[in-house]
Amino acid sequence: MEASTALMFLSAIAAYLIWFSLVTRSLKGPRVWPLLGSLPGLIQHANRMHDWIADNLRACGGTYQTCICALPFLARKQCLVTVTCDPKNLEHILKLRFDNYPKGPTWQSAFHDLLGEGIFNSDGDTWLFQRKTAALEFTTRTLRQAMARWVNRAIKHRFCPILAAAEKQKKSVDLQDLLLRLTFDNICGLAFGQDPQTLAEGLPENAFALSFDRATEATLQRFILPEMLWKLKRWLRLGMEVSLSRSLKHIDEYLSRIIKNRKLELVSGSGSGSGSGSGSHHDDLLSRFMRKKESYSDKFLQHVALNFILAGRDTSSVALSWFFWLCTKNPRVEDNILRELCTVLRSTRGDDISTWLEEPLVFEEVDSLVYLKAALSETLRLYPSVPQDSKHVVKDDVLPNGTFVPAGSSVTYSIYSVGRMKFIWGEDCLDFKPERWLSPQLQDSYKFVSFNAGPRLCLGKDLAYLQMKSIAASLLLRHRLSVTPGHRVEQKMSLTLFMKYGLIVNLYPRDLKPLLQTITPTTHPLH
């Protein structure tokens, strides 16, 4: 009996090793271990995961396949993950074979409790309907004007006073935290016309903001665990699943009140509903969807608001954090930005510098800041707010570089790695060089996918640049920054490229007079 058991055990091991050999024999990239797959490498390099992926892609020519978890009860295709940063592959996935690469069931399952079937968590007809509806709104000038009002109000009455006080008192500030609060207030105003005031004096806690943060963090935790495990934890009400459940309840109650009141206001035609003094009409996305002839459920309207908050809050604030940090390390770039700002403001507001600081920049001034936009784009090339994304493979396919991807497997494209490959951007790919964006030769859009690409290209791209340029200009005109001595700037390993310990900076007064003396009215800042 014992001999029979031992024989069965040895046979099982032999069968597994044969299966493992078949699964891994054609793989290149990080080492794949029996049972554990490439998990040991992921764990070992957890603190530098995006750079580790970039190292592997660099060694493999831009694409590799690996096995995350080599378990025999999973089919080969379920084990397989294709990782790529090749622009031709990205164009194939994001545009040419778009229908074959949806977000897929794993992503949708993890985000469903928070985002439902909203635009950023749906595929097929559900996604297409919302995309078309939202696209009509995002092309309107009135939405851009609404965004500008929310941004400029927050800059003038909250952001700048907080920075000025910190400079005067010689106190350090966590710039990443301030930017997160600023963009959260702005996106809530744009999404559903309510100002949570997280950037108000004293930086108060806001129940909705806290619930949203906890819900987002708990949702992201689901990507670390196998789907079966986090679903078991949800059923047993364990760990962060408890926090998620409570947070979702509060979010639901908060948005339900807003939707109920907004419907009554739209019917009666009363008030602005924003509590912001930003206008007497409803120009937020929620109200715009409510005015459509279609009758949307309250739950759908909630998901509309939450999807746009998730997309518009963290991405801009994180990009600005890396931008300001890069400016402190690249004074030449900062000087060029200031020269452009001085040139534009001199032509629109005259030589009196005090008038430059009275009001935030207006549309025409923001649009004229070509070099500043280039610097922000260069920041996103090196530090994309969303460093990677994944797709589900519906049908067997072959990528342009010859890699076969079977149906049921997944494809991860590393946006972070795209900007760090010599074969894509040249020998100076790791340099912070905004000038590369000023070339008359247009860049291949699939070399820069920080705003996605193809049919899912970010609808709010122009609004994001408007907000980031306005905030960057307001700070750099008034202050010099330096990172507090001893502060560590490191990446936080999450779906969004936060700084792990924030961005703690000291602020000093900016003297623009010496710079202004070197600029003639006809001088272009880059000539």
The dihedral sign for the CA sequence 276, 282, 285, 289: positive
Query: From CA 99, how far away is CA 123, in angstroms rounded?
Result: 9
Q: How far is CA 27 from the centre of its chain?
A: 30
> Hey, what amino acid is at 232?
L
Q: Are 65 and 86 in contact (CB under 8 A)?
A: no
> Hey, what amino acid is at 79?
C
Nearest to 317 by CA among 454, 207, 177: 177
- Angle, CA of 290, 293 and 299, to the nearest 5°: 40
- Collapsing DSSP to helix, strand or coil, 204 comes out as coil
Q: Is 188 annotated as a binding residue?
A: no
Give residue for tokens 């970010």. 458
Task: Give bridge partners of residue 28 from the DSSP assignment.
Answer: 65
- Collapsing DSSP to helix, strand or coil, 371 comes out as helix
Query: From CA 82, how far away is CA 130, in angstroms rounded?
Result: 29
Structure tokens at 493: 């390993």
Contacting residues for 509 by C-beta, under 8 A, at least 6 apart: 167, 478, 479, 480
Task: Give bridge partners of residue 353 from the DSSP assignment.
Answer: none
How many other C-beta atoms are found inside a 10 Å radius of the C-beta of residue 26? 10
Q: Which residues are annotated as a binding site for heme?
A: 458
Q: Which residues are annotated as a binding site?
A: 458
